[in-house]
Amino acid sequence: MTMPCLNYFHELFYINRVKSIPNNIAELLTPIGLAYWIMGDGVYYKNKGVAICTDSYTKKEVELLAKALSSLFGLICSVHEHRDNQYRIYISKRSLDTLRNLVHPYIIPSMLYKIGL
């Protein structure tokens, strides 16, 4: 069964059946969305920061996401090549307090380890 109200988002994030990042991602991303994203694709590195696995996106798309996180939430982000042509967003340990304050209310207790709590 499908929910027609979700078709809008499917059309935004899938172009010719390929997952992609829309240019207006900064208008769509919210703290709760970031929390869900981290619960699904986040990795905490002790005393280093949080990485978000964005391996299936192009470098340009990952850079767009990192820029949105920086401008929207004031997070210090960088893009790292994980493997050949696979890129991940790294949120600096200097931004961990900001990140935690932003997403903690929305992260379920069993997933708090993803932000080092």
Counted domains in the chain: 1
pLDDT, average across residues 83-112:
95
Q: In the predicted model, is pLDDT for residue 5 greater than 90?
A: no
Contact call for residues 22 and 63 (beta carbons, < 8 A): no
Contact call for residues 74 and 98 (beta carbons, < 8 A): yes
Domain range for 71 is: 23-115
> If pLDDT is split at 50, 70 and 90, which confidence band does 3 have?
confident
Residue 48 sits in a domain of what CATH number?
A: 3.10.28.10
| Residue indicated by tokens 């939430």 | 73
Question: DSSP of the chain, one letter per residue?
Answer: ---GGGHHHHHHHEETTEE---TTHHHH--HHHHHHHHHHHEEEETTTEEEEE-TTS-HHHHHHHHHHHHHHH---EEEEEEETTEEEEEEEGGGHHHHHHHHGGGS-GGGGGGGT-
Q: Does some domain include residue 72?
A: yes
pLDDT in tens, 42-62: 999 998 999 999 998 999 999
Greater confidence, 60 or 8? 60
CA angle 68/89/91 to nearest 5° reads: 85
Q: Does some domain include residue 35?
A: yes
Q: Does some domain include residue 12?
A: no
Query: pTM of the prediction?
Result: 0.88
pLDDT in tens, 13-43: 888 888 899 999 999 999 999 999 999 999 9
